[in-house]
Amino acid sequence: MSGADYSQEELLICNFARMLGDLPGIRHVAVGALSPIPGSAALLAQEQSNTDMRVSIIHGDANNPFTDGGRELFDCAGQGRIDAFFLGGAQIDGAANINLLGIGDYPDLDKRFPGSFGSAYVYFVIPNVILFAPEHTKRVLVDKVDFISAPGTSSANVQRPGGPKALVTGKCVMAFDAGRFTLQSVHPGVTVEDVKANTGFDFDAPETVPETPAPSEQELALLRTRIGPNIAKTYPDFAQKVLGVAAP
């Protein structure tokens, strides 16, 4: 844990969970592989929800209802049965375009990444997509991505029920609307000037930017006692290191 009463990861988890709770009509949240923070947040939102919210973590078996990998996930999304999803990118620009392909001029890339998989598809069909960039630097948050793996916006003649709603980074929370990001809050110890200095694109900001709310005692108790043992089934190292919960 950090010197505070909570860790940076717990701050992000609790704010992700609140975000999911504030979005209307969230019945099913899906989380991709290698996403312990969004996965923990989805389980926390489920625990706090007064509805029958479903959570599908596409990694391991514990919280994964799919037996055929991505194909079932994409079918489910295309049928409108997933309401929220988390996406990251090696690069994210001010238009919410994400790059998962590589750095440099395509096709002669300087560095190649694993690829887009279904990011473009889920970006279009899942109504609420939350972008996540733990590393808040100009290397990740760029003026213009080198390659558009998934576009943040589409022209008016394109049917698109889905798209980005927010961007959460290691420094702040931004909302996305009308093709631009707006700074909503800065994490404890971070200033607006720090965010601007480490962001490669322009964004809007109110005159006064609040601090990202700290986790409540109730949220932390739920996270460490109920969510921790659950997420440990999928991400045992994360659960032990961040939440102090031993693997089952």
| Domain edges within the chain | 1-87+216-248
Cα–Cα distance, 87 to 98 (Å, whole number): 9
67-100 pLDDT per residue, tens? 877 789 999 999 999 999 999 999 999 999 999 9
**pTM of the full structure:** 0.93
φ, ψ for residue 86, nearest 5 deg: -110, 135
**The 180-186 sheet, strands edge to edge:** 54-57, 28-31, 84-87, 128-133, 164-169, 172-177, 180-186
42-76 pLDDT per residue, tens? 999 999 997 889 999 998 899 999 887 778 999 99
Q: Give the start-end residues of each E strand in 115-199.
A: 128-133, 141-142, 164-169, 172-177, 180-186
183-219 pLDDT per residue, tens? 999 999 999 999 999 999 999 999 999 999 999 999 9
Q: To the nearest whole percent, how much of the chain has pLDDT over 90?
A: 82
